[in-house]
Amino acid sequence: MSRKKILVTGGAGFIGGNFVQYMVDKYPQYDIYNMDLLTYAGDLTKHKYIETKDNYFFIKADIADRETILELFKKEQFDYVVHFAAESHVDRSITDPGIFVQTNVLGTQVLLDSSRAVEVTKFVHVSTDEVYGELDFDPDTFFTEETPLQPNSPYSASKASSDLLVRAYHETYGLPVNITRCSNNYGPYHFPEKLIPLTISRVLNDQKVPVYGDGKNIRDWLHVIDHCAAIDLVLHEGVNGEVYNVGGHNEKTNLEVVKTIIKTLDKSKELIEFVKDRLGHDKRYAIDPTKLEGLGWQPTYTFETGIAQTIQWYLDNKEWWEQIISGDYQNYFEKQYSINK
Ligand SMILES: Cc1cn([C@H]2C[C@H](O)[C@@H](COP(=O)(O)OP(=O)(O)O[C@H]3O[C@H](C)C(=O)[C@H](O)[C@H]3O)O2)c(=O)[nH]c1=O
């Protein structure tokens, strides 16, 4: 039997990158193709260790480049596609929504057409709980797979649009798909524009941490490795056409998260700086993962164990994030900071 070919889009990013490493290690019998455009959030230095492995391949390409992608699919005849590639930062979508439509919506449609052309065995579309909109602060309410889509930001609207295209390709053409919708991920290689790595890196450098609004917005934190295990499970066991929510049952206010990091690093709360709120800032995300648990998934990290491991990782891998924050990122941060001031 020939070896299975798995295409992972966005495998130079945070979640996709962790997934590529997870799959290369776990499945020597699969060939893992990491396809990424290497935009500002993509970096290959994280893959040094797997680059020497026989079952890892890298392709630089733009998912929205129809001709190139279709040609590539015809040449490689991928068996499975796991689609992470996306513009993912909500703040950036508020200042520059166009690229989110181009990559997240158009790019997904190109991949769907290409997957149809070579009749892939499975297309897993990695999405987000933000497509459901926001919950209020009632702790007994959760997003389920039946919650209507009510995205609020240009980012979540672009992800909801791509989810609907994936659904439509299943309904119309019978493409074997799954959609996964995760809560907020954290862990190694998280790009420092996002709350947790931004806080860790700034606190380590004794710099102020901007907290939007009153800091009471709630996110449900999921360790990236638990997320990778969930996607692996859905890839192999997911029922075609189904959506699976992935959440860690770790709801925290942003202020709790920031204070935990400051305390763990033994720094002062004076570093917290309350700034203007994000436009259309969703109040609360929380996921009911019962359906996925039915396939046998359980998170292995609590927020407490996961954040301790993550902080330690950032302490041990200063070189990785220092090289990022000293580049173009600095301009981005200053611009964003002045918007929020
Ligand atoms: C960057 C930043 C954020 N925040 C607040 C805003 C949010 O309430 C919370 C987390 O923000 P972040 O931008 O890290 O993540 P979300 O906007 O929740 O979205 C993230 O989780 C979902 C599931 C995805 O799908 C997104 O791709 C992913 O970026 O902290 C601050 O208070 N200060 C800051 O400097």
Query: Has residue 35 got a pLDDT over 70?
Result: yes
With respect to residue 73, please indicate whether it lies within any of the assigned structural domains. Answer: yes
With respect to residue 292, please indicate whether it lies within any of the assigned structural domains. Answer: no
Choose the catalytic residue: 62, 130, 220, 282: 130
Q: Model-level pTM?
A: 0.98
With respect to residue 279, please indicate whether it lies within any of the assigned structural domains. Answer: no
Mean pLDDT of 149-174: 98
| C-alpha gyration radius of the chain | 19
Q: How far does the centroid of ligand 1 lie from the alpha carbon of residue 194, in Å?
A: 6
With respect to residue 210, please indicate whether it lies within any of the assigned structural domains. Answer: no
With respect to residue 170, please indicate whether it lies within any of the assigned structural domains. Answer: yes
With respect to residue 111, please indicate whether it lies within any of the assigned structural domains. Answer: yes
Contact 301, 248 (CB under 8 A): yes
Query: Has residue 320 got a pLDDT over 90?
Result: yes
Contact 236, 171 (CB under 8 A): no
Which residue, 94, 325, 319, is CA-closest to 198? Answer: 325
CATH number at residue 80: 3.40.50.720
Q: Can you give the pLDDT at residue 327?
A: 81
User: Per mean pLDDT, which range of 218-227, 256-265, 329-338 is the poorest?
Assistant: 329-338
- Overall domain count for the chain: 1
In whole angstroms, give the CA distance from residue 216 to residue 195: 14
Please give the number of the atom of ligand 1 that sits closest to the Cα of 258: 32
Query: Has residue 210 got a pLDDT over 90?
Result: yes
Host domain of residue 112 = 4-185+222-246
| Percentage of the chain exceeding pLDDT 70 | 100
Choose the catalytic residue: 155, 186, 301, 329: 155
Which residue, 170, 185, 72, 73, is CA-closest to 126? Answer: 185
Provide the pLDDT confidence category of residue 341 given band limits of 50, 70 and 90: confident
Provide the pLDDT confidence category of residue 173 given band limits of 50, 70 and 90: very high
Please give the number of the atom of ligand 1 that sits closest to the Cα of 194: 14
Residue having the nearest C-alpha atom to atom 10 of ligand 1: 195
Q: What is the mean pLDDT of the chain?
A: 97
Measured at the CA of 318, the angle between CA 247 and CA 20, to 5 degrees, comes to 45
Question: Is 130 a known active-site residue?
Answer: yes
Q: How far does the centroid of ligand 1 lie from the alpha carbon of residue 64, in Å?
A: 25
Q: Is the CB of 278 under 6 A from ligand 1?
A: yes
Query: Has residue 148 got a pLDDT over 90?
Result: yes
Q: Can you give the pLDDT at residue 26?
A: 98
Mean pLDDT of 203-225: 98
pLDDT tens digits for range 266-299: 999 999 999 999 999 999 999 999 999 999 999 9
Q: Is the CB of 212 under 6 A from ligand 1?
A: yes
Q: How far does the centroid of ligand 1 lie from the alpha carbon of residue 90, in Å?
A: 7
ipTM for the assembly: 0.99
pLDDT tens digits for range 106-131: 999 999 999 999 999 999 999 999 99
Query: Has residue 219 got a pLDDT over 90?
Result: yes
Ligand 1 pocket test target in 126, 181, 212, 307 with most atoms within 8 Å of CB:
212
Q: Where are the alpha helices (DSSP H) in 179-326?
A: 195-204, 224-237, 254-264, 290-293, 303-316, 318-325
Q: How far does the centroid of ligand 1 lie from the alpha carbon of residue 195, in Å?
A: 6
With respect to residue 318, please indicate whether it lies within any of the assigned structural domains. Answer: no
Q: Can you give the pLDDT at residue 1?
A: 64
Ligand 1 pocket test target in 87, 103, 194 with most atoms within 8 Å of CB:
194
With respect to residue 308, please indicate whether it lies within any of the assigned structural domains. Answer: no
Residue having the nearest C-alpha atom to atom 33 of ligand 1: 211
Q: Can you give the pLDDT at residue 248?
A: 81
Please give the number of the atom of ligand 1 that sits closest to the Cα of 282: 8
Choose the catalytic residue: 91, 129, 232, 282: 129
Q: Can you give the pLDDT at residue 204?
A: 98
Say which DSSP state 225 is in. Answer: H
Q: Can you give the pLDDT at residue 246?
A: 98
Mind spelling out the 3-state secondary structure of 15-59? HHHHHHHHHHHHCCCEEEEEEECCCCCCCCHHHHHHHCCCCEEEE
